[in-house]
Amino acid sequence: MTTEKSDEAWSWMKEVIPFVAMLMITCLDMSVLTIVKAAMNDGMSSIVYIVYHDALGILILLPFFIIGFFRNANRPLSFGILFRFFILGLLG
């Protein structure tokens, strides 16, 4: 009977955590937009914001690229994968 309770708790965690993560990301996105709006109202140029945004993105994504590059587990791009990228880019 104790295994049933642990299974129920595990199922609850698997169902709730994605929604909590989505809510946290939405809250973080709104806070970043509020900070950006305040910075733009104080005179920050939109070009400067774009440069900072891109630089931060590079700093966050670069370690993942380096790890993936040296892992040597690259699979070739098939037509199906490229088509999925195309559809994803088309639909947004």
Of 36 and 76, more confident = 36
As given in the structure block, the two tokens for residue 38 are 């305040």
Of 69 and 64, more confident = 64
Whether 42 has a pLDDT exceeding 80, the answer reads yes
pLDDT of residue 14: 78
Whether 13 has a pLDDT exceeding 90, the answer reads no
Per-residue H/E/C for the chain: CHHHHHHHHHHHHHHHHHHHHHHHHHHHHHHHHHHHHHHHHCCCCHHHHHHHHHHHHHHHHHHHHHHHHHHCCCCCCCHHHHHHHHHHHHHC
Of 40 and 71, more confident = 40
* pLDDT level of residue 10 (50, 70, 90 thresholds): low
CB 36 within 8 A of CB 49: yes
Whether 46 has a pLDDT exceeding 60, the answer reads yes
Whether 6 has a pLDDT exceeding 60, the answer reads no
**Predicted structure pTM score:** 0.52
What are the domain boundaries of the chain? 2-74
